[in-house]
Chain A
Amino acid sequence: GAVVSQHPSWVICKSGTSVKIECRSLDFQATTMFWYRQFPKQSLMLMATSNEGSKATYEQGVEKDKFLINHASLTLSTLTVTSAHPEDSSFYICSARDPGEHSKNIQYFGAGTRLSVL
């Protein structure tokens, strides 16, 4: 299947600093990528839809000024957690759909980024 690479896999930062997470589609071009957040023992919650060349679409309750998304190319989307606080500590996961006809809307997920804010 298609490969989505996410970096870093784990980051620890001080409260008030910003953290950037990268999501890359390695063997296909993705006009749309998605960002999820997952708290321990819970399911994935969609945060935003990242569209190449345009503004991201955020889910209700997700602060767009806090979670900055940039999708500058067809293979890269970034999520920046600005002024991070301990409550932002979570597991962040990106996904992208392989637009090849054979894939029928199979979304491929990155390995996730564990963010710990001290």
Chain B
Amino acid sequence: LAKTTQPISMDSYEGQEVNITCSHNNIATNDYITWYQQFPSQGPRFIIQGYKTKVTNEVASLFIPADRKSSTLSLPRVSLSDTAVYYCLVGDHTGRRALTFGSGTRLQVQP
């Protein structure tokens, strides 16, 4: 399973754009990159998933370079409610194997 490395924590202010980068040097050809958000005492919530290039949805963008050895989650104009732990996970598309969680990035948004 591809291991992921993320910054342990990040700080930001309301209204700013936040970019969280994840390294996954051993990503396999069939692996997708998925990001989850977790609030205290809640289960992780799906944010976005991608395979290559750029993916955008209503809450975030995911940038994946051509070599796919890293990815960047971009949160536009964060608010206080975006304070959470963000996990980057890599796994194949079959879903038969569980996702392996790394340490995640604790984002603190201040007013």
Task: Tell me which residues across on chain A come within 8 A of B46, comparing CB atoms.
Answer: 1, 106-108
Task: Assess whether B100 is in contact with A105, with CB atoms less than 8 Å apart.
Answer: no
Task: Assess whether B43 is in contact with A111, with CB atoms less than 8 Å apart.
Answer: yes
Q: Give the interface size bracket for A toward B.
A: 20 to 34
Cα distance A46–B91 in the bound complex, in angstroms: 14
Cα distance A91–B41 in the bound complex, in angstroms: 8
Number of B interface residues in the complex (CB < 8 A): 25
Q: Is the interface of A mostly helix, strand, loop or mixed?
A: strand
Task: Assess whether A46 is in contact with B100, with CB atoms less than 8 Å apart.
Answer: yes
Task: Assess whether B34 is in contact with A105, with CB atoms less than 8 Å apart.
Answer: yes
B residues near A (Cβ < 8 Å) are: 32, 34, 36, 41-46, 49, 87, 91-104
23 interchain pairs (CB within 8 A)? Answer: A1-B46, A6-B43, A32-B95, A36-B101, A43-B101, A43-B104, A44-B44, A44-B101, A46-B98, A49-B97, A95-B98, A97-B95, A99-B95, A104-B93, A105-B32, A105-B91, A105-B93, A106-B34, A106-B46, A107-B99, A109-B36, A109-B44, A111-B42
